[in-house]
């Protein structure tokens, strides 16, 4: 039985003072403990997350990191910096990082392996553009990303990874993939994991859907067989919406 996992991606939102306020609200929410919940904040808010979420069931994490331990990599944060502060997750390969910061699969692969080496849970994002979907290339695109981003990840480690299927055309646009299409793609990703790592690993790995998930569509999406959670941008910035997402079962 896979534990559902709902994670907020704050993106480049929330100054420290705004984060303090939102996290004060989040820490007091009555959240379903049968659901794993987390927030991935801007790096500057991580210390606030550590303080405010201490003693709650809400984990926190980064939205990116470099794969090296330390050194002359101006502007980056390292896996150790994340673990030292108590971070649990790190989002890797988000489509915004791929598009605006030109992150390639070979870099993302190094980051995934570094996260696993440091006991961070990588939330590996994949997904196709609208053009690729319309050209019926969505499976090929995602297959390529999964193969390259998970290259040399061991069978032992694969179950720790969370994969987020995020069709790019659905992110921040208000357009959600139909629950059937989202489920089909999450099922397809599971079949790729089964091919490479076996049925057991495929049954255990958690696959999220991301792309305009809101309180009004989360129940339907989470009702699908292959959707184990959601990576949520916009709707994670309001405590009441975050509560409704995590409590989709209530």
The residues assigned a catalytic role are: 94, 166
**Residues in contact with ligand PEP, shown as a per-residue x/- string from 51 to 90 under the rule CB under 6 A:** ----------------------------------------
In angstroms, rounded to a whole number, what is the distance separating the alpha carbons of residues 12 and 40? 10
213 is a site residue for ligand PEP (CB under 6 A): yes
**Least CB distance to ligand PEP at residue 236 (A):** 7
Q: What is the spatial distance between Cα 140 and Cα 152, in angstroms, rounded to a whole number?
A: 20
Residue 208 is a binding residue for ligand PEP (CB under 6 A): no
Q: Cβ 154 to ligand PEP, closest distance in Å?
A: 27
Closer CB to ligand PEP, residue 62 or residue 210? 210
**71 to 66, 97, 124: CA distances (angstroms):** 11, 22, 25
Q: Find the binder of ligand PEP among 212, 217, 226, 247 (CB under 6 A).
A: 212
- Report the binding-site residues: 9-11, 172, 212, 233-234
Answer yes or no whether residue 231 interacts with ligand PEP by CB under 6 A. Answer: yes
Stretch that binds ligand PEP, among 28-36, 113-121, 182-190, 211-219 (CB under 6 A): 211-219
Please name the residue that has the structure tokens 């999220």: 208
State the nearest-atom distance from the C-beta of 72 to ligand PEP, in Å: 30
Q: Is 126 in the site for ligand PEP (CB under 6 A)?
A: no
Q: Which residue is nearest to ligand PEP (CB)?
A: 233
Residues near ligand PEP (CB under 6 A): 9, 11, 166, 171-172, 210-213, 231-234
């Amino acid at each position: 039985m896979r534990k559902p996992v709902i994670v907020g991606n704050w993106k480049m939102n929330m100054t420290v003072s705004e984060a303090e306020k939102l996290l004060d609200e989040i820490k007091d929410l009555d959240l379903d403990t049968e659901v794993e919940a987390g927030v991935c904040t801007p790096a500057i808010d991580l210390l606030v997350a550590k303080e405010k979420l201490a003693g709650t069931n809400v984990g926190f994490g980064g939205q990116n990191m470099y794969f090296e331990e330390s050194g002359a990599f101006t502007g980056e944060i390292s896996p150790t910096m994340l673990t030292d502060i108590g971070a649990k997750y790190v989002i890797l390969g988000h489509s915004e990082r791929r598009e605006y910061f030109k992150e390639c699969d070979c870099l993302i692969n190094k980051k995934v392996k570094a996260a696993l080496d440091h006991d961070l849970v990588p939330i590996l994002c994949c997904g196709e553009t609208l053009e690729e979907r319309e050209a019926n290339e969505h499976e090929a695109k995602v297959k390529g990303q999964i193969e390259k981003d998970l290259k040399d990840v061991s069978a032992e480690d694969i179950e720790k990874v969370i994969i987020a299927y995020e069709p790019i055309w659905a992110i921040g646009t208000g357009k959600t993939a139909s629950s059937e299409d989202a489920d089909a793609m999450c099922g397809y990703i599971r079949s790729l994991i089964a091919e490479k790592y076996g049925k057991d690993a495929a049954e255990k790995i958690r696959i999220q859907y991301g792309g305009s998930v809101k309180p009004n569509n989360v129940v339907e999406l989470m009702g699908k067989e292959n959707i184990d959670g959601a990576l949520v941008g916009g709707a994670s910035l309001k405590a009441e919406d975050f509560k409704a997402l995590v409590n989709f079962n209530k």
